[in-house]
Chains A and B, each alone.
Chain A
Amino acid sequence: MSDRVAIVGVAQTRFSPKRADANVAELAYEVIEKVLNDTGLSIEKDIDNTISCSHDIWDGQTISNIGITDVAGGHLRTEEKMAMDGSTAAYYGAVGILSGEYECTLLLAHTKMSQTNRHIVNNDAFEPIYSRQLGLDFTSAGALQARRFMHAHGLSREDFARVVMKNLGNAMANPLACRFGYYGLDDVLSAPMEADPLTAMDAAPDVDGAVAMIVASESKAKKITDTPVWIQGLGSCYDDYFLGDRDLAECMALEKAAAQAYKMAGISNPVKDLDLIELSDEFSYQELLWLEGLGVCKPGEGARLTESGFTSREGELPVNPSGGVLSGVPANVMGLNRVAEAALQLMGKAGERQVKDAKRAVAQGHTGFCGQHQCVIVLGNQ
């Protein structure tokens, strides 16, 4: 049994609106080849397990990982797929190594959102008996959560817009980002309204891309790299499925997932103990809500932290120094991209977006509409 698990390598594509030149397997191969080259590992000799994350409808076939088996080292070996968010691939990859069953696991997440219509795909996440016929999708459901969250704490569209401004500004330093720039409040507020209170700028854009990562047992990791990033805490939790079953202004599932991960990592005060956070801001309001769930602030206080610069890249606790999901990361890939960005920071390899002296970080991913499933991973370089 391995005592510790480390991330030993990360590779990511640039995220762009349409990668017409690569199909999903070719996109996956790009990042797998790169992470193997970077770590000097062989897929035949070193990788003993592969966990991928993709989406059946976006890829166009059920058990969508069958489409990437060959490039992911799954041929005549073990390979499993996680549905919907790449952070859970990291979760189960780490669990597999902690169990002693595996020593070195390849993680992969890939999606070409350009291949089909996001709202129609996400409408299929709504069960067919009571919800799907209404035509709901993740944006309209997210807007219901955003309005309830505003109502609970007297928040405004400006509070959400400041998250967009911060993250797209951060994305200026991220060469992989698709959407970036220094925007003013009016730019965000006057963007085309999608489902109020959310404009097109409050929602992550459709992009294509892939992320690969290798995790290894402690003894193996130390042979591979001088900059291992240790997975120190893991947490995962589901909330109620039906929107009307939960208080949309709260995120109990994230609180529980964070509590598990923090306990495992020995974190008692996240603001003091963490140096940065990468969270899945699929919509602007989510950054403020997830900050509460991660124990960074009291309910309703995330807006103030954003406005004061507390969560800026130079602030006391940088949140999404990469630009986050709002800068353009595909569905399914966004959680693994969060883990990858946090790991790059702790390796000191985040380039222009590097946070100084980062030693400990948390990555958060979620699945389903309004963040029904939550996954929290604590990482450290000590």
Chain B
Amino acid sequence: MENKFVQAPFEVDQHITAHSNYFAGKMGSKFYVALRDSKEILGVRCKTCSKVLWPPRETCGRCFSLLTEDDLVKIGPGGSVVSFTRVHYSEPIHPDVDAPLVYAVIQLDGADSGMTHLIGGVDPEQIEIGMRVTPVFIENRNGNILDIVYFKPE
């Protein structure tokens, strides 16, 4: 007996979740404790390259020098906008801030590399490259990059 029917493509619904605790590294640990406890932003100086890098790291990628905790330096907190974008879509990965979400690369004072973060507290249409900004810290800081809520105009 023939019993032909067309099976619609079947999709298996999945959701991957994993709670994770990633070690911030020796330099990252210092960075986050300083951010959480003192609202300070740390970078690291490579003496060989005469450059201050953010985020602080244990190896200079340019000259391969080993960097140590003695090379940590305070940078910022002010800086200037190197580039920015206003994001008009929303995704569950986005921090809980009003649309449009504004990302920027910010060159903090005393650093030679930029920090990628958010801009807020300003009409998004008024943002421009070169604008001076300063961080706004959250009250209850627990040691992550969102302890800085965003950077706002100075």
Contact of A243 among B105, B145, B146 (CB under 8 A): B105
A151: Cβ under 8 A from any B Cβ: yes
Chain B contacts for A195, CB-based, 8 A = 85-89, 103
B48: Cβ under 8 A from any A Cβ: no
B131: Cβ under 8 A from any A Cβ: no
Instruction: Check B114–A243 contact: CB distance below 8 A.
Output: yes
A242-B116, A244-B113, A245-B53 are contacts. A193–B88 as well, Cβ < 8 Å?
A: yes
A349 to B20 CA separation, bound complex (whole angstroms)? 50
Q: How many residues on chain A are close to B (CB under 8 Å)?
A: 40
Report A211-244 CB contacts with B as 1/0, cut-off 8 Å: 0000000000000000000000000000010111
B61: Cβ under 8 A from any A Cβ: yes
Which of A130-138, A330-338, A357-365, A373-381 faces chain B? Answer: A130-138
Instruction: Check A148–B82 contact: CB distance below 8 A.
Output: yes
B91: Cβ under 8 A from any A Cβ: yes
A76: Cβ under 8 A from any B Cβ: no
A147 to B104 CA separation, bound complex (whole angstroms)? 10
A20-B9, A147-B129, A245-B53 are contacts. A134–B88 as well, Cβ < 8 Å?
A: no
Instruction: Check A131–B85 contact: CB distance below 8 A.
Output: no
A273: Cβ under 8 A from any B Cβ: no
Instruction: Check B85–A143 contact: CB distance below 8 A.
Output: yes
Contact of B55 among A21, A192, A242 (CB under 8 A): A242
How big is the B interface, by class?
Answer: 35 or more
Chain B contacts for A50, CB-based, 8 A = none
Q: B56: nearest residue on chain A (CB-CB)? A: A130
A117: Cβ under 8 A from any B Cβ: yes
Instruction: Check B16–A57 contact: CB distance below 8 A.
Output: yes
Instruction: Check A144–B84 contact: CB distance below 8 A.
Output: yes
Chain B contacts for A31, CB-based, 8 A = none
Q: How far is the CB of B6 from chain A (nearest CB, A)?
A: 11
A244 to B129 CA separation, bound complex (whole angstroms)? 14
Instruction: Check B9–A130 contact: CB distance below 8 A.
Output: no
9 further A-B pairs in the complex, CB-CB below 8 A; given A129-B55, A242-B55, A244-B114: A128-B20, A134-B145, A135-B95, A137-B93, A143-B103, A145-B83, A192-B88, A244-B105, A244-B115
